[in-house]
Chain A
Amino acid sequence: MLRKLSLWAASALIAFTSLNFELQESPGDKLIGVWEPSNGRSRIKIDKIGTKYYGRVVWLIEPNDPETNLPKTDKNNPDAALKNVPLKGYRMLKDFVYQTDGTWSEGTIYDPLNGSTYNCVIKMKDKNTLDIRGYIGVQALGRTDVWKRLATAPAKK
């Protein structure tokens, strides 16, 4: 009897946990995935940590620094302590919060080519296309790049 009760309690807990998981999925989670910027030179995987969204570099068309022939690091970062951090794995999108208007904002985007961090807002044009706008202070002073969603299962290019 006690064993049956324990099993029932365990099943209920697992069901509750699964339900809880379903309830915690937000409309903003559609941002999660692997994306490719328009220049095709990198791929960014966007994940959710807590209630915010982050994106890190997972692929580079040119993974090695032509000067050293070693894996590229964040050598243009103005912070000397970060210059040796590998670019692959680097979190270049930070702190995005999903808003009721369907955008992800309050975050920043980092450009490793010049070591600058910009304000950024993300809009989903359709489920496989993002408008990523980096800007300085106000959105009018910025530039938009279009990112495309990649299939996470290997596919022939």
Chain B
Amino acid sequence: MMRRRIWALALASSIGGTLWAQSDSSSAAEDDFSQYDNLGFVDAGAKRFCSPKIEGLSPAKLISLGYDYQGAYNLSASNIFKVEDGTYALDPNGQPMVVSRGSQAKVNATYGVRAGFNIPVISKTNLVWQMGANYWNTQYAYDEPPTTESNLLHQTLSEHGLRTTGVNTTVFKPLDRKNFLLFQGSADLSGTYGIEFMPAQYLRYSAALIYGRRPTEKKQWGLGLARTYRVGEINYIPVVLYNSTDALNKWGAEVLFPARAHVRRTINPRNMIFAGYELEGQSYRLWRDPASGVDLRNEDLEIRRGEARFRMVYEFSLKDFIWLSVQAGYRFQYRFDVDRLVDGVEIYRAFGLLRDDSYAQTNVLGNPLYFNVSLNLVSP
């Protein structure tokens, strides 16, 4: 009798063990992790591709809402001359006819909202494609509001400010485990427009194509060519990509030269400090309501804004994926000149190597301190 009870108990234990095994497919034997050291793919044809990111890189921003503020500076605007048939129109005395006289004015602050988003459309191992959009609004607060007698640039900036609305795309195509192609393109509508957009003919296109290598998980570099407005006017320039992180994940570099270059100090993966610079620039159509006076549309004028921002940036996680970015630095003007298009066609000067046309207006800005704060939703 006793033997039968023991046998029944053993059987019950056995069944119980089987049922337990059903509810947890792992087992204690798997704590011997060495059994996973030398495994190969089941699918022998499976290929590995390099990732667009490296270890330690600052997180990509999916959604960003920020505010940019520049301190006070003087803006010295030169004469704007009348042009007919591609040459200066002359007055009865044989002097160029002035459309608007030059003057200097103090700008107390330049400020505005900057918003953007980037959404992955395709995110696969062998292709990553992102689409995004951005909106920047820049307002100019003059110490003394310009009058109708003031230079047209002051009037325009004071009354309308500058805006950029654009769309962009990024395609990362890994070729294998080490090599990749990176394409970035954008179409921006920049000008003095308000609620109504300007005609699409004023869209400005930028693009860059880079061939890169990712020799390790902590380093990638690349070389390419870009069509850019970062110095204010159209240019075709070589670009260099370089991202790296040191062995201890403390220091790194994030560079897309000449657009930007930063040294990164990683306090921890949720706290990072950067020091470096970024070039900013656009070509802004001077688009003004003809009812307000001079119709600048007929003058075919565009502001070529190019500036360098030398800065410190602190980025940190407020909570999980919500990051705050705070930056402060020095805004250095490279160009804020007004260019006159010839029959609607931009002048490609190639830094004066190809052409040496004069600007319609040459302006000088003081270089103030600036700060920028943004709230960001960062990518996984």
| A interface residues, Cβ below 8 angstroms from B | 6, 10, 13, 17, 21, 24, 29, 32, 34, 36, 38-41, 43, 45, 47-50, 56, 58-59, 66-67, 76, 78, 88-89, 111, 113-118, 128-129, 131, 133-136, 140-146, 148-152, 154-157
Contact = CB atoms under 8 A, between A and B. Distances in A.
Contacts of B23: 48-50
B11 A148 contact: no
Given A21-B18, A39-B217, A48-B25, A156 B40 contact: yes
Contact of A149 (B41, B247, B320): B41
Interface stretch (B42-50, B194-202, B225-233, B287-295): B42-50
B297 interface: no
Given A59-B37, A76-B269, A129 B43 contact: yes
Given A21-B22, A49-B24, A152-B39, A144 B123 contact: yes
A134 B380 contact: yes
- Which of B63, B119, B248, B380: most chain A Cβ within 10 A? B380
Given A59-B33, A116-B320, A146-B124, A151 B119 contact: no
8 contacts: A6-B4, A41-B217, A49-B24, A128-B42, A149-B41, A150-B40, A154-B38, A155-B38
Nearest to B51: A39
Contacts of A59: 33, 36-37, 39
Contacts of B68: none
B87 to A, nearest CB: 54
Contact of B43 (A50, A142, A149): A149
Contacts of B37: 59
A148 B379 contact: no
Interface string B14-40: 010011001111100011010111111
Nearest to A21: B22
Contacts of A148: 41-43, 46
Contacts of B35: 154
Nearest to B379: A143
A135 B269 contact: no
A13 B37 CA distance: 39
A48 B20 CA distance: 12
A34 B125 CA distance: 18
Given A24-B22, A38-B49, A151 B40 contact: yes
Interface string B41-81: 11100101101000100010011000000000000000000
Contacts of A34: 36, 39
B330 interface: no
A36 to B, nearest CB: 7
B266 to A, nearest CB: 10
Nearest to B320: A116
Nearest first, the 6 closest Cβ-Cβ pairs linking A and B are A155-B40, A146-B125, A47-B26, A114-B269, A134-B380, A144-B123
B82 interface: no
Contacts of B38: 154-157
Contacts of A76: 268-270
A36 B11 CA distance: 40
Interface in B75-127: 119-120, 123-125
B377 interface: yes
Interface in B251-280: 268-270
B179 to A, nearest CB: 15
A91 B23 CA distance: 17
B7 interface: yes
B217 A111 contact: no
Contact of A67 (B46, B48, B248): B248
B321 interface: yes
Contact of B123 (A45, A142, A150): A142
